[in-house]
Amino acid sequence: MHFERQGASSRRRASAVETTQELQHRAAEAARDQALASYRQTVLAALVQVADLLRALDHDAAELAAEADAVRFASEALDLIRLSNQSGLASYLQVLTVDEQFLQTNLGYVQSRGTADSGYRCPLRRSRRGWWNGRDGGLREAYPSHVGFRPPADHPRS
């Protein structure tokens, strides 16, 4: 009878060990699932941020292109009014008025360009992991051509 008690006791211990191992295994699976869900959420949030940034870049690129067109048209108007003034068809006051409009249009373009450059340079560099050591981090490829990004003169890809 003593042996029967020992056998039952060891079976209970073995069953408890199996139950503990099974619980530990389930806990490890749950922790893995939680880490995977957290990773997926982080990746999705990063993708949303990239999409938002790209949408903003597209919007700013369109705005900057419109500003560049306005500067070109204002420059053409200034050239025409100067020619008209030289031919005696326009007064000097008209030349000054069109010149002021050209300068205001040019100022708007420069301000738009500065906003586009400063607003997206840092996040793009961070996303390309090159911002902390002075590398352009692929900005030349990421920027639309009319933004005119130029890396520093000492940059290896310059």
Delimit the domains of the chain by residue range. Answer: 2-147
Distances in whole angstroms, Cα of residue 47 to Cα of each of 37, 52, 74, 137, 144: 15, 9, 40, 18, 20
Amino acid present at 12 = R
C-alpha span between 16 and 9 (Å, rounded): 10
If we measure between CA atoms, which residue out of 94, 59, 53 comes closest to residue 77? 94
Rg over CA atoms, the chain: 34
- What's the pLDDT at 21? 86
C-alpha span between 101 and 76 (Å, rounded): 12
- What's the pLDDT at 113? 85
- What's the pLDDT at 131? 44
Cα 24 to chain centroid distance, Å, stands at 42
pLDDT in tens, the chain (158 residues): 454 556 556 666 667 667 888 888 899 999 999 999 999 999 999 999 989 888 988 888 889 899 999 999 999 999 999 999 999 999 999 999 999 999 999 999 998 888 776 666 556 555 555 444 455 444 444 444 444 445 455 544 44
Residue 65 contacts by C-beta under 8 Å, 6 or more apart in sequence? 146
C-alpha span between 103 and 33 (Å, rounded): 60
pTM over 0.75: no
